[in-house]
Structures are given as C-alpha cells and as structure tokens.
Structure 1
Amino acid sequence: MLPPLPLRSLAAIALVCLLTSCASHHATYRISKPATDELPFAGERILLIDRHWTHYQDEADRTLVGSFIVKNTPLIKQLHKRHSRSQEQSIRTALASLLSVSLAIDFVTIFEEFGKYEVMLMTSPPAISKPENTAFGELPPPLAASEVGALAAQHSADILLALESVEVVVGEHEEKRIVEEKSKNDEVKKKTYYDGWLRLTCTVVFRVYDPLSGLWVDFKTTSSQSKEEWSDYGSSISSRRIAAMRDALLERSLETAINDFARSLTPHTISVSRKILVDSSSRHKEQLEEAAERFASSAYWKDAVEIWQSLLPLEQPGFLKAKILYNLSLAAEREQDLDQALILAEKAVAESDQGIIRRNRDRLARRVDEQLLFESQIPPGQEF
C-alpha cells in the first residue's frame, strides 16, 4: 500500500483541478487479444523466409518514376528533377534494412508470447528461385513444390511462410500560400508559406505453403496510411527533409503491416491506454484526483480501487457516480476479470448513458466474447 500523499501534494492537486478543471489522466496496461485468422494448413513449426520484391509506385501517376502533385508554385520542374528513380532505390534500400529487424523482432516475438506456433526465421538467403520484377499489383510465381518440400525438410518445418512482395505507394502535395499581414506602421507585407503533405501506404503480401501437398494460399495485409504535414515559411521543403520524413513513414507503415499480420494468426497481448474519469465538480475531487494519479501508475494502481470503492456510496447519483463505476470497470479489466468489468460498466450506464460510459460498456461486451476465443486458442497450461 502506497503511503498517503503529503499535504503539500494534495494542495498542489487541488490547485491543478481548480485551474484546469482536472487534467486528463490515462492508464496504460496490457490486454489479451485472440487470433482472427487461421492458417489453412495444420502444423506447429513455421519456417519464415523473405523472398520479396519491392514494388514502388507514385500516387500521382502510378509509375516507377516519381512524379508529384504540385499546385500554384513555379517549382514543378525542380520537384520533378529531385524526385526521380533515386526515390525508388532509396525505398528499396531502406526496406532491406527495416525488414531484417521487423521480421526478426516484431514478427517472431509476437508468436513467442503464447507458443501456439514456433516460428523460425531463415536469416541467410534461401537457395530458392528469386521472383522476377513483376508489375505493380502482381505477385511473383509461387515456389515450386519441390523447393517448399526441401526447405521444410531441412528445417523440420510443418508450414512455410514466405514474404513474397512489398508494395509502397508514395504521394506528395505542396502548394504556395501568400498571406498579407499589416506591420505596426500599417504597411502591408506579403509572406509566402509552403504547405504540403507526404503520404505513404505499405502493403506486405505473404504466401503460406504446405510442404506435404505443395498447395499455397495468399495472405495480404495493408498498413494504416501514414502521413506527415508541413507549413514552411519562405521556401519549399528540402529534398533531405523529404527523404527523412519518407523513411520515418516507411518504418511506421511497415511495422504496422508486419505486426497486424502476425497478430492476426496467433493469440497475443497489446498495450492499451484508457482514459480515467475525474470530475472537478465532485465534492471529492481531491480524492478522485489522487486515485487517478495512482491508477496511472504501474506499481500502485490497485490503491486507486480502494479509494473509488470508498467514494462510491458517498457520490451523488447520475454522471458522478457513473464515472466512479466506469473507473472501477477499468480496474477489473486490468485485473483480467472481464465478467466483473462488464457488470460494473452496465451499472455505470444505468447511472448515465453518456458517450464514453456507453462506449466502454459496448467495448467490454465485445472483449468478453474475445476472451472466450482467446482462451480456446492458447495451449493448455498457459495463462495470461
């Protein structure tokens, strides 16, 4: 049990509540999630290989040569000159480096969490046929059954999982904006701004091969779109800054795509952030603020439960009581007691059917069903 906060801290909390109507608090913890897809072939040992061909495409004209949308600016020739095939090569180089880390860490680690599958990453280039340069949106020919069988036998694998293709779509927009501003002497001055955005979408395509039958099935996942915006005064964005921004978006999109695919195939856990409700209009706002601070802590979050439980019978019916019940439902979820979490969330809705209270009840109802599926997927003897 964490010792009581000193009076000076409580006074500071009260002052913060008064000035900010209580700051927003969030708690981060892990929850379980079931697999949403099933591998089409039986087995427990997966051999993961990378034989991908990178497809790069510009969003504007959908060719291999960079061509960017530019409006209301005389810099179109300069932009076309600086964004050429060099961007395609830069993306290929960056992907080669990012994939080696993402497959070894992001992908394999997710499967290790509950042990439904044992995944072995083939770190050295496999002695198999390499795909030719195919058109955008086309997949390379599948591996021959003899190649699949030989690789599986060499590594004692039941299933072969091959990264076949990586598709990257990049789009850029930049336009000049002139703003008239008055100086202290009422002189009108024109200022030029360059507003723009860079958008990148990454799609990874895997094939699953069965060594026994030689059959294969395509699995495809697309990352959520990543985008960066800018508004610069005086000059257009530099090529170096564009390149750095593009590499950051590529890393983010690729990691999302790889993680989403891996998590779709195996039970796993994820970190979530939940909002803690505190109301400055409550007579117990100082205690509620203290509870929120403790629940946001990874070490003392259970102390918040005692505070909320003691305040529950003292709080006014309606939205204020609903907030405490909502917070207690989060604590039950954090404790992995989803049945109790849903009961508390239902009681909160009975007090107040406002947005976040109702959405929390609906979310927990879905989580109860997900938990049943999760428990049916993890191997016997393993618990979360």
Structure 2
Amino acid sequence: MSRRSLLRSLGAGSAGAALAGCGVPAAYVEPGDRSGPDRSDSDHSLHFANWPLYIDTDDEDESKRPTLDAFTRRTGISVTYTEEINDNDEFFGKISPALMNHQPTGRDLVVISDWMAARFVRLGWVQEMDRSRQPHVAAYLDPQLRSPAFDEGRLHSVPWQSGITGIAYNRAKLGREIRHTSELWADDLRGRVTLLSGLDEAFALLMQGNGADITRWTADDFHEMCEQVARHVRSRHIRRFTGNDYIKDLANGDVLACQAYSGDVIQLQADNPGIEFVVPEEGAELWSESLMIPNLAGHKRNAEKLVDHYYEPEVAAELATWVNYVCPVPAAREILASSKDEETAALAEDPLIFPDDAMRRRLAIARDITSEERTGFAKKWNSIVGL
C-alpha cells in the first residue's frame, strides 16, 4: 500500500473545510504576526509531521529512516518525525485552532497537499522560507514546479514529492490501448470504470478531457464536467467513486480503467505487468504535496536546513527509490542511473518518476478552487458522487 492509499475523499461538511471555504476574516494572520522567537541556535531539534509510508526506512529496522539519520549526523539537529497526517481536512482541523489564535502548533515542518496548502497561504498561516539558506532548493527544484498559482515563486512551500493523476487500465484484459480521457466512456468499459471521489483529486483530469486549460479553468468548465459525470452515473457507466481502493478493483479485474495516481501504479505493475498508466493526449494533472513551516514555529532555521537537505540530488535519489512518486529534483535521475544495482538504475528510466519531455508537455498544474467557489462546487460534486 502506498502513502497516497491512505487519503480519504474530501469531507465538505467538516469544520475545517467550512472554515477555509468561508474564508473567515478573523482567521487571517498578517505577515508581521507569523514569525516568533527562533530557538534553532540553542536548541538543535525540530518536529516534522508527515504522512505514513512517505519516507525511506531501513531494510532491517523500519524505525530507522536513513535520510533523516544522515541529516542529524551532518548537522547535529535531531528530528522528531511523526506520521500523523492521514487526511488533509482532518489535519487542518487539528492545527487550525492554534493558528487562528496566534499560537504555535508544536510543529516546525508539515507536508500537505497543494490544494490544502493554498488555504494555508490564503489564510497567512505559513511563513516564507529564507532561500538564502536553501541553495539546493534554488539550484535543483524542478522548473515545472517552481511557481504554482497558489504560491507564486514558491515563497511558502517546497514540494516534498510530486505525482500525476492520470488513467490506469488493464490492457491485458481490455485488449486495447487507452490514449484519451474520452475513451473511458467507450461501450466496452460500461460498468468497469471508477473515478476518484474527492473533488480536488478528480476534477482536473476530467476537465482536461473536455479540452479545458486547467491552469485557468472557469465555472463553465466545472459545470460541463459535472454534467458529463452525472450522465455517466445515471447510465451506470461509472461503477463507483473511490478513494485509493481503486487499487484493489483494478488488481482483481473488477475494474478495467480508472482515475489513478502515478505512484500507486508503479507498485501495482510490480505484481501485474498488464496494468498500464497513461497521461492522456489532452493532458493530466501534475500535483505536489509540499513542505511548509507553520506560523510561530520555534525552529524555523532548522526546518529550512532539513528542506534543503532533501534537495541534494543524492538525498532526493535515495528518497525516490522508496516512495516512487515524481521526484521534484530532476538531477537525482543521474544519481540513480549510475547505480550498480539494476533495479535502482531502472528507476531512472521510469517516466512516472522522471517524466520525459514528451510527457511533461502534457502535464499541467491546476489552479486551485477558490474559497468563494468551494462551497457551491463541493455541494454539486458531492451530490453526484453520493457523499
């Protein structure tokens, strides 16, 4: 099971979503109120909150994390690493009371999906990073990820890992290729297709299939996509909407094609080479889950050092061999290619970890759903999905 297999679909009625969707004015924190005393010089530690199964572990002792251990040996900074983020909205609800009330969260570094990171940036809940302390980020961050709409210039965020939402299908059982999103609606796939249930996870690929530019999509694009999906629900073409349980459906043959995440498919292919992942000709969504430093973090400079550590190509390569998502450090590819281990070297040629130029031309980062749009759009989507 991959890290992203633990995601749950968007809960539009959750307290956290309601707060962010309404853009409560009192929750906004002015730039001058975001930083606090930094104890990094006297306290060589930091608290790093991440998702489960999202970092390298030692083969013989899973409690050891080689890339983190290397950072501590090099810098003397100890890292308290917690796998406490199981859902974006749930984590939002956990730390939002502190952030709203101008209190520290007890965490110096967190990893959240970019659509949720957009909320934190809008609310002023995260600090700008000092890039002068992060030369490896400046040198090696993937150019395609450098300036998302929600955080132009990546002032507040740095990708931890990236990925692609595309189409996975069982070519061996289907007996043909899939090259376009519209092919999901072919007659021979009736009742054998699943889509992702979460609005933020699903909408971009479906809009791209209709020809929309997801970097600047409109309300008309959204409603056209919803009407299309609703028609296929009524005709029972769509088998169901899923979280990451699509993995089981695809593996056992109940489903022949589905929306899927690139990192999951790499792992599925190890057991079933008949499963393929495609970036449709119309395009697919490139997303990230990003490192951010919450307001009033007590070890900001230590956190900035750890972020930069993971942008050293050798470290990024070591992490990439474990998580199998799109590596945000393209220079890590050469490190893997030079490995004497054949399986490791093969990862350098996998376009789902290091997309080639042809694939990159079909990838785009979707603009975020704004706080003004979210309540109405989530209500409409959830009524179709049955949430």
TM-score w.r.t. the length of structure 2 is 0.24
Q: What TM-score, normalized by structure 1, do the two folds share?
A: 0.24
Higher strand share: 1
Q: Pick the structure with greater CA Rg.
A: 1
